[in-house]
Amino acid sequence: MRTLRCKCGDKIAWTTDNFPDCQGCEICNTTYSGHPDYHKELQPHIWKIMYDQNTGKPYKRCEKCHNVDKESYIEAKKIIN
């Protein structure tokens, strides 16, 4: 298990693998790294449209890190009576 940090040290992550370039710290705008010289600039998520299996409504999920956009996910879960 490795401990990775962002450049400013505000965010800490533990992993056996690496994180995608879209995960990191929004404060210093850097990715997680095990060494201060290897930080990259934080990249935007690449959203892919997914559909809720119960309602059929769309929501967004990142292709790289599989993070779900909370606002669109909450909307997709709403059932209209």
Say if residue 23 is in the same domain as residue 51.
no
Residue 34 and residue 14 in one domain = yes
* Average pLDDT of the chain, as a whole number: 92
**Kindly report the CA angle at 38 between 30 and 11, in degrees rounded to 5?**
40
pTM comes to 0.79
C-beta of residue 36 within 8 angstroms of C-beta of residue 3: no
Residue 71 has pLDDT above 90, yes or no: yes
| pLDDT of the residue at 27 | 95
Enter the tokens of residue 81: 């009576």
The residue range of the domain holding 60 is 47-77
**Banded pLDDT at 76 (limits 50, 70, 90):** very high
Where are the extended beta strands (E) located within 1-81? 2-5, 12-15, 24-25, 30-31, 47-51, 58-62
- The answer on 52 and 25 residing in a single domain is no
| pLDDT value, residue 17 | 85
**Structural domain tally of the chain?**
2
Question: How high is the pLDDT of residue 81?
Answer: 59
Instruction: Specify the pLDDT at position 73.
Output: 94
Taking the C-alpha atoms of residue 3 and residue 34, their distance in angstroms, rounded to an integer, is 7
